[in-house]
Amino acid sequence: MERSKYWMGVDVGGTKMLAALFDQNFKLLVERKEKTNGREGAKAVVNRLQTLIVDTLREAEVSRKQLGGIGVGCPGPVNVNTGVVLAAPNLGWHNLPLRKKLETELGRPVLILNDVDAGTYGEYRFGAGEQARCVLGLFPGTGIGGGCIYEGRIMHGSANSCFEVGHMLVVPGGRLCGCGRHGCLEAHASRLAVAADAVAAVYRGQAPALRELAGTDLSEVRSRTLAKAIIAGDEVVAGIVHRAAYLLGTAAASIVNLIAPDVVVLGGGLVEALEKIYVEEVRRAITEQAMSFLGRPVKIRAAKLGDRAGILGCAALAADAFGGKKRKS
Would you tell me which residues interact with a copy of itself (CB under 8 A)? 77, 86-87, 132-134, 146, 148, 150, 155-160, 162-165, 167-172, 179, 181, 250, 253-255, 257-262, 288-291, 293-294, 297
Nearer to a copy of itself, 211 or 284 (CB): 284
For residues 287 and 321, the answer to whether their CB atoms sit within 8 Å is no
Nearer to a copy of itself, 85 or 303 (CB): 85
CA 140, CA 245: separation in Å to the nearest integer? 9
CA 105, CA 329: separation in Å to the nearest integer? 33
Closest CA to 70 of 275, 315, 251: 315
Nearer to a copy of itself, 36 or 161 (CB): 161
Nearer to a copy of itself, 41 or 157 (CB): 157
At closest approach, how far in Å is the CB of 301 from a copy of itself? 16
Closest CA to 135 of 118, 156, 115, 121: 121
Q: Would you say how long the chain is, in residues?
A: 329
Q: How does DSSP assign 71-129, residue by residue?
A: EEEESS-EETTTTEEEEEGGGTEEEE-HHHHHHHHH-S-EEEEEHHHHHHHHHHHHSTT
At closest approach, how far in Å is the CB of 116 from a copy of itself? 13
At closest approach, how far in Å is the CB of 259 from a copy of itself? 6
Helix (H/G/I), strand (E/B), else coil: 152: coil
Nearer to a copy of itself, 12 or 78 (CB): 78
Nearer to a copy of itself, 54 or 179 (CB): 179
At closest approach, how far in Å is the CB of 198 from a copy of itself? 22
At closest approach, how far in Å is the CB of 251 from a copy of itself? 9
Nearer to a copy of itself, 57 or 135 (CB): 135
How many CA atoms are closer than 13 Å to the CA of 109, on its beta-carbon side? 17
Q: Determine which helix (DSSP H) or strand (DSSP E) holds 302, and give its type and residue range.
A: strand 299-302
Helix (H/G/I), strand (E/B), else coil: 31: strand
CA 265, CA 299: separation in Å to the nearest integer? 8
At closest approach, how far in Å is the CB of 6 from a copy of itself? 31
At closest approach, how far in Å is the CB of 120 from a copy of itself? 13
